[in-house]
Structure 1
Amino acid sequence: MKILYVAGREASYSRNRIIQRALAAQGHEVVACFPPDKAFKHYPALLWQVFLKARSCDLVLVGFYGQLLVPFVKLLTWKPMLFDMYITTYDTMVFDREKAKPGSFKARLYALSDWLSYQLADLSILDTNHAIQQFGNIVKTDLGKFRRLFLAVDDSAIHPKPQLEARDHFLVHFHGEYIPFHGVRHILQAAKLLENENIRFQIVGRGATYEEDMALARELGLDKVRFLDPVPYAKLADYMAEADVCLGIFGNNPRAELVLTNKVIEAIGMGKPLITRRNQPVQELLKDGDSVRLVEAANPQQIAEAILELKNKPDLRLAIASKGHQIFLNHNTVDKLGQGLQAILMEIVAQRGLRLSPTPAGKDRPL
């Protein structure tokens, strides 16, 4: 198929890069329409490009952030449409950024944008059944047009690598934004509890709570925690490769209850044992004590105990890492994402009753 892929984020955004690779691997021709950055001011020019390019395409895939784009894309093209919702507006603005209170007028507007984009697309994608059910709880609609497709990450960069640096300590790794649902402060408090152990931490990232968390680190007198600025993706994989354990998320706000997150997938993709907070999305993919070590939210004591357990039980550490990586290979590679997208696209083709004919490349293309 010739697929018009339009999204509200720039071409370099990780989800856009991975989706394009996954579609190309399935033999599809992808016509990309992306803005130079995430600013809404680029939407008129973006939609003009959609209008110009849609005529020659068989199907439209709208990617993140797409809730505001879907109605206009539908109006301009009337093509079959798959919506990669990725994250709902309501969850982001109400639970994560706390720009509105649940039940408020603004919150209802955010829910309306999710509902409308879902109704206009032929099918929509979210990454967990829990996220899909949450959508239904918020917007009170039938969920039959949703399909679950687990997150995937760039497995050309994220894959097991040997540890190159000889060291005499146990290394714990975290990367991500300093934001409430990641719960960096709980990692720092766990590091304080482990200060007398031969354990060191490396934390890569910046973000909204950075200054607050740095103040906490100074207050705790942490001298076994190394803080690093964000690095390119390939370099991030190198940092992860040196670690003995990787950390996920530990916040206790509503957002943290709803997400799987890329860092969880990246850890198991690197073949590293993962410690993260317990929530339903993670448990759709991983099992506590088997392929992940789960702790309760906002609980530095449990984080510290889990780290110490995996340090002192190398067989358990290796078993969790191995089983986690096998799950990654089964569900979270770019190839698996492509297979999932292909099945959903062909479902739309069948629903629309589109006739297929061979293309010169040997692939079936809707007429």
Structure 2
Amino acid sequence: MKFLYINTGNKYAPDKHLIDGLRENSHEVFELIENGHGISKYVYFINRFLKNKNQFDVIIIGYGLPFLIPVIRLLSIKKLIFNAISSQYEANIISRNIAKNFSFTGIRWFLVDLISFHLSSKVLLESNAQVSFVNKKFFVPKNKLILGRMGVDEEIFFRDQSIQKNKDFTVLFRGRFLPESGILTVIETAKKLEDKKIKFLVIGHGFMYREVNALIAKLKPTNLKILSERLSEDELRKMMLSCHISLGQLADHPRLIRTLPAKLYESLALGLPYLTGRNAGVLEVLTENNNCIAVEPGNSLELAEKITYLQDNPEILSNIGENGYNLYLKEFTSKKLAKDFIRDCFGYKLS
């Protein structure tokens, strides 16, 4: 098949893995990049789209571009697939809490989702719980909603056993400081483990930086290092691989019923043992005590105990990482996810 894939050019994992996977399965993918500023960018974009639209069988709108869907739907009646991953309303109102549900901003984000979901032929979502949420919240028929796991950019995140582990047992937290991340729980846990020769490496920044800085100033954990600057792809991969455990989302937050962080798939692809809050979304994919370790969300004491347990039991730690990597190879490579996409959106299997 021939696909026109419209994306931002930012190499978001949901787009990159699907583009790569479709090409690995011998499909043609032409990328149309939506960038620039002001009204002129839309004029330029529409001109490029109209010149190319008849060369392709299917149009895919990439992650983070719900505003383009009404425009594309006006310009074409072809099958239009939206790689949404999740709801913009959920991300901005439920997660970041930038406005109240029935405020102007809340209603605006609700309508963005409502319109983009209903105008799409199919919508890709990250979990079965997300499918149920969108079905009920936005009245979208379930046959329009497709499970589409996120995957990784395989040029960045790949296993490399030549990378040496840090001398000190190191716990990694990577990601934005969002309410569901559990970053405050991580800082509290680091303080509890100051005298255990356990280091914490936090690679991240974002929304909750004031709360993060305030808690660090209060607790003053000596075993915690935060890197907020942008790293090269090679530096990031090597730094992650040098750690012993990768932490998932650890907060007690309603969004974690449905959402799965990108670092889950990154950790599996790297073979890093994954320690996460015991949330319904992540447990759709992982099995506790087989390919992940789980703790009660928001419980820094239990998190400290599990980290110490894994430090003292390297064989169990190794098995968790190996089982996670094998799960990735079986279910979450770009090629496998693209096969699932073709099967679920078009009704036929690829060999």
Q: Structures share a fold, TM > 0.5?
A: yes
In structure 2, the gaps of 5 or more residues are: none
Alpha-carbon deviation of 1:313? 1.5
Give the 3-state SS of the residue equivalent to 1:304 in structure 2.
helix
Corresponding residue for residue 73 of structure 2: 74
Asked if 2 retains the 8 angstrom alpha-carbon contact of 1:11 and 1:17, the reply is: no
Which whole-Å CA distance do the structure 2 matches of 1:112 and 1:208 have between them?
24
Alpha-carbon deviation of 1:324? 1.2
Corresponding residue for residue 251 of structure 2: 251
Give CA-to-partner distance per residue, 1:336-359, whole Å, 9 cap, x none: 122122224433x99xxxxxxxxx
Alpha-carbon deviation of 1:56? 1.8
Asked if 1 retains the 8 angstrom alpha-carbon contact of 2:260 and 2:281, the reply is: yes
Give CA-to-partner distance per residue, 1:281-317, whole Å, 9 cap, x none: 1011101111111112222112111111111122221
Asked if 2 retains the 8 angstrom alpha-carbon contact of 1:160 and 1:269, the reply is: yes
Matched, 1:342 2:342: yes
Asked if 2 retains the 8 angstrom alpha-carbon contact of 1:2 and 1:57, the reply is: yes
Corresponding residue for residue 215 of structure 1: 214
Alpha-carbon deviation of 1:22? 1.5
Corresponding residue for residue 197 of structure 2: 198
The change in CA–CA distance for 1:174 and 1:41 in structure 2 (over 3 A counts) is farther
Question: What aligned pairs does 1:35-114 form with structure 2 within 5 A after superposition?
Answer: 35-36=34-35, 42-104=41-103, 106-114=105-113
Q: CA RMSD in A?
A: 2.4
Asked if 2 retains the 8 angstrom alpha-carbon contact of 1:61 and 1:82, the reply is: yes
Asked if 2 retains the 8 angstrom alpha-carbon contact of 1:161 and 1:270, the reply is: yes
Give CA-to-partner distance per residue, 1:178-197, whole Å, 9 cap, x none: 22221211101000011110
State the AA in 1 paired with 2:17: I
Give the 3-state SS of the residue equivalent to 1:227 in structure 2.
strand
The change in CA–CA distance for 1:294 and 1:242 in structure 2 (over 3 A counts) is same
Asked if 1 retains the 8 angstrom alpha-carbon contact of 2:96 and 2:178, the reply is: no
Which whole-Å CA distance do the structure 1 matches of 2:68 and 2:82 have between them?
10
Give CA-to-partner distance per residue, 1:205-238, whole Å, 9 cap, x none: 2212224313322321211112223312332111
TM-score (norm 1): 0.87
The change in CA–CA distance for 1:281 and 1:167 in structure 2 (over 3 A counts) is closer
Which whole-Å CA distance do the structure 1 matches of 2:39 and 2:282 have between them?
32
Q: Out of 108-117 and 37-46, give the one that drifted further.
A: 37-46
Which whole-Å CA distance do the structure 2 matches of 1:185 and 1:76 have between them?
47
Corresponding residue for residue 17 of structure 2: 18
Asked if 1 retains the 8 angstrom alpha-carbon contact of 2:16 and 2:152, the reply is: no
Corresponding residue for residue 223 of structure 2: 224
Corresponding residue for residue 264 of structure 1: 264
Give the 3-state SS of the residue equivalent to 2:112 in structure 1.
helix
Corresponding residue for residue 324 of structure 1: 324
Asked if 2 retains the 8 angstrom alpha-carbon contact of 1:11 and 1:35, the reply is: no
Alpha-carbon deviation of 1:12? 3.4
Asked if 2 retains the 8 angstrom alpha-carbon contact of 1:184 and 1:250, the reply is: yes
Which whole-Å CA distance do the structure 1 matches of 2:174 and 2:13 have between them?
15
The change in CA–CA distance for 1:23 and 1:143 in structure 2 (over 3 A counts) is same
Q: Out of 242-251 and 148-157, give the one that drifted further.
A: 148-157
Alpha-carbon deviation of 1:200? 0.7
Asked if 2 retains the 8 angstrom alpha-carbon contact of 1:10 and 1:37, the reply is: no
TM-score (norm 2): 0.91
Corresponding residue for residue 187 of structure 2: 188
Asked if 1 retains the 8 angstrom alpha-carbon contact of 2:165 and 2:241, the reply is: no
Asked if 2 retains the 8 angstrom alpha-carbon contact of 1:264 and 1:274, the reply is: yes
State the AA in 2 paired with 1:253: H
Which whole-Å CA distance do the structure 2 matches of 1:291 and 1:338 have between them?
23
Which whole-Å CA distance do the structure 2 matches of 1:167 and 1:6 have between them?
41
In structure 1, the gaps of 5 or more residues are: 351-362
Which whole-Å CA distance do the structure 2 matches of 1:320 and 1:37 have between them?
44
Alpha-carbon deviation of 1:79? 1.0
- Percent identity of paired positions between Structure 1 and Structure 2: 24
Alpha-carbon deviation of 1:113? 2.5
Corresponding residue for residue 121 of structure 2: 122
State the AA in 1 paired with 2:30: V
Give the 3-state SS of the residue equivalent to 1:171 in structure 2.
strand
Alpha-carbon deviation of 1:162? 2.4
